């Protein structure tokens, strides 16, 4: 009975996956390497999600003490935002000044470490006049 149930459940997952599949063609102005990253570098929430993944990848790949894991979890979002937004001019911070990019990296670090939620960080950025109220996601 359990084998049949698992077989039906797995079958339904495959059917559901095919029914939601879409063919999305990226714009030609974005290089092919960055098309997958454009989802993560398009908003503050995407950067926070990417930084959680990269931090977990780094900390599980190497033997790292606990305090260094915390340092890495704070530096990774800042490095992602500064590297992509300021140095490579990619993502939603492509044309932003360095201080704005750095504060967005700090905000992504606050969100990815679970200290604040995305709405509070966006409200702080609006209060600092680093973000327009109409740009909120």
pLDDT digits (tens, 9 = 90+) for 82-135: 888 888 888 788 888 888 888 888 888 888 877 777 788 878 878 877 776 555
Q: Is 104 strand, coil or helix?
A: helix
CA distance 51 to 62: 17
In the predicted structure, residue 137 carries a pLDDT above the cut 80: no
Give the burial string for 57-83 (b: 16+ CB within 10 Å, else e).
eebeeeeeeeeebeebbbebbbebbbe
Does pTM surpass 0.75? no
Listed by start position, the domains of the chain span 37-135
């Amino acid at each position: 009975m359990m084998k049949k149930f698992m077989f039906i459940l797995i079958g339904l997952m495959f059917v559901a996956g095919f029914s939601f599949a879409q063919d999305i063609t990226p714009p030609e102005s974005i290089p092919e390497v960055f098309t997958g990253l454009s989802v993560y570098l398009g908003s503050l929430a995407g950067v926070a999600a990417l930084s959680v993944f990269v931090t977990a990848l780094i900390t599980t790949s190497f033997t790292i003490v606990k305090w260094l894991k915390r340092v890495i979890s704070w530096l990774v979002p800042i490095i992602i935002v500064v590297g992509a937004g300021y140095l490579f001019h990619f993502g939603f911070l492509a044309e932003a000044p360095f201080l704005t990019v750095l504060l967005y990296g700090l905000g992504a670090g606050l969100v990815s470490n679970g200290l604040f939620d995305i709405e509070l960080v966006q409200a702080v950025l609006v209060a600092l006049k680093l973000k327009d109220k109409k740009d909120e996601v």
